[in-house]
Amino acid sequence: MRRLLRRSLAAASVVAAAACVEHNPAAPGPITGLPRDLTPSESQLVSRGNDFAFSLFRAVAGQSSPDANLFISPLSVGMALGMAYNGAAGTTQTAMQGVLGLDGMSLGDVNRAYRGVIDLLRGLDPSVDFTLANSIWYRQDIAFEPSFLDTCQSYFDATVRGLDFSSPAAAPTINAWVNDQTRGKIPSIVPDPVPGDVVMYLINAVYFKGAWMTQFDPSLTAAGAFRRADGSGVSVPMMRYAREAWVRAGGDAAVQVLDLRYGGGAYSMTIVMPLDAAGMDSLVAGLTRGRWDAWIAALDSVKAQVVLPKFTLQYALGMNDVLTALGMGVAFVPCPGVPDCADFTRMRPERDLFISEVVHKTYVDVNEEGTEAAAVTSVGVGATAEPLPIVIDQPFLFAIRERFSGTILFIGRIMNPAGT
């Protein structure tokens, strides 16, 4: 196993990393578990959330260039949609339930599980800076169901605030919250000015900054070859340990798996590298929670040198098409004249709301000290505008016709209704 690991690292000139027993001197003692057991509902939410993570990633990858870097936060997307789910009813609720994997869970169980998971993740590792924040911003002249807003405030710990969306200060106010929650890594998520048809934003922000349990030696970072899927090479900064260290590694006939822990060990980066550089498409296509769980369960301790590319990535995408492909399309359909349209009547009794856009932005910086990452997901809720009156107030042509055959019986024009 040790020889296979070393050959894989040298051949691909890339490695990912692993949970090391050696500690960063600044790190606290090892964290060996959660402060309490997960409840059945929390365990179910986490498992279903991971299913959603892989299905979302497969869908995003399927709609992206095969050579493009991708970086998303399923936690952020799932939590922003989880708030919106509380306002959904009818077929919209059913569709969102299926996409988020919440089948068989009552809404009360779902909300209590979100609340519990939020509380567990916050402050789990004191050496890791982790923020998980939610907010709802709504047009203050629109009446939304108080029970919906209260639920999001209670179970998602959401900041809830009404704003004058027509004010020049509206978008900067929302974006300032986003900028603050992500430590400036994602400065904005909503357009400025706020579009006229948007009446609410449901926003989740995630921020993570953790130091490696075993850090890379900056003096050893040097240009190295990274082999791309087409077999060509590119020179990138490659980090390496000062010496061999105990890591956890595993895999199967198709992949090498390595795991690198942060801080006290509660959080880690798990990297899955296809042994065939051209194998990423098949890896993503076959990525499931079952396969992932099997890889994690098979991790074992080995002593190895670790080499990892140093990189920074900023990523953004609109998720309407991705979520529609996953089965949530009804949530994006405005209602007038459409039988199968969005139903958010638990947000507002009038059936005039729909999701206008889901925007997702991420940032990640992987360096010798550790990793800094941030994500924001904004769910924009639009309202169907009242149809504008059709005013015939200038010269017009008119006809009297038989509709089925198309026969025109009379035709004329009116230049002045008051005269002849």
Convert the pLDDT of each residue in 70-101 to its tens digit: 889 999 999 999 999 999 999 999 999 999 99
Instruction: Give residue 16's pLDDT.
Output: 35
Count Cβ atoms below 10 Å from residue 332 Cβ, excluding itself. 19
Q: Which of 78, 45, 92, 21 is nearest to 379 (CA)?
A: 78
DSSP string, 289-339: HHHHHHHHHT-EEEEE--EEE-EEEEEEEE-HHHHIIIIIGGGG---TT-S
Residue 112 has pLDDT above 90, yes or no: yes
- What three-state secondary structure class fits 163? strand
Residue 7 has pLDDT above 50, yes or no: no
Which residue type sits at 196? G
Residue 73 carries which DSSP code?
A: -
CB within 8 A of 341, min separation 6: which ones?
Answer: 330, 333, 334, 335, 351, 354
Please tell me which of 28-42, 263-277, 340-354 the model is most confident about, judged by mean pLDDT: 340-354
Q: Are the C-beta atoms of residues 80 and 376 closer than 8 Å to each other?
A: no
Q: How far apart are CA 321 and CA 329, in angstroms?
A: 8
Residue 277 has pLDDT above 90, yes or no: no
Mean of the per-residue pLDDT values of the chain: 86
115 vs 311 pLDDT, higher one: 115
Q: How far apart are CA 139 and CA 194, in angstroms?
A: 10
Q: How far apart are CA 251 and CA 266, in angstroms?
A: 21
Count Cβ atoms below 10 Å from residue 302 Cβ, excluding itself. 19
3-state helix, strand, coil in the chain (%, to 5): 30, 30, 40
- What band does 393 get if pLDDT is binned at 50, 70 and 90? low
CB within 8 A of 48, min separation 6: which ones?
Answer: 100, 101, 102, 105
> Which pTM does this prediction carry?
0.87
pLDDT, tens digit, for every residue of 35-53? 999 999 999 999 999 999 9
Burial 392-402 (b: 16+ CB within 10 A, else e): eeeeeeeeeee
Q: How far apart are CA 238 and CA 367, in angstroms?
A: 10
For 288, counting Cβ atoms within 10 Å of its Cβ (0-12 exposed, 13-18 middle, 19+ buried), the class is: middle
Instruction: Give residue 67's pLDDT.
Output: 86
Q: End-to-end CA distance of the chain, in Å? A: 98
Beta-ladder partners of 139: 163
pLDDT, tens digit, for every residue of 148-179? 999 999 999 999 999 999 999 999 999 999 99
Residue reference for tokens 């998980």: 132
Instruction: Give residue 318's pLDDT.
Output: 97
Taking residues 261-272, what's their average pLDDT? 87
Q: How far apart are CA 352 and CA 383, in angstroms?
A: 5
Residue 278 has pLDDT above 80, yes or no: yes
Domains of the chain: 1-388 (3.30.497.10)
What stretches of 189-229 adopt beta strand conformation (E)? 198-211, 222-227
Phi, psi at residue 364, to the nearest 5°?
Answer: -150, 140
Count Cβ atoms below 10 Å from residue 240 Cβ, excluding itself. 18
Instruction: Give residue 100's pLDDT.
Output: 97
Taking residues 177-199, what's their average pLDDT? 97
What percentage of the chain reaches a pLDDT higher than 70? 85
Q: How far apart are CA 296 and CA 78, in angstroms?
A: 23
Taking residues 386-411, what's their average pLDDT? 58
Which conformational region is residue 123 in: left (phi greater than 0), alpha (psi within -120 to 50 degrees), or beta? left
Q: How far apart are CA 402 and CA 394, in angstroms?
A: 25
Instruction: Give residue 30's pLDDT.
Output: 84
CB within 8 A of 293, min separation 6: which ones?
Answer: none
Q: Are the C-beta atoms of residues 316 and 266 closer than 8 Å to each other?
A: no
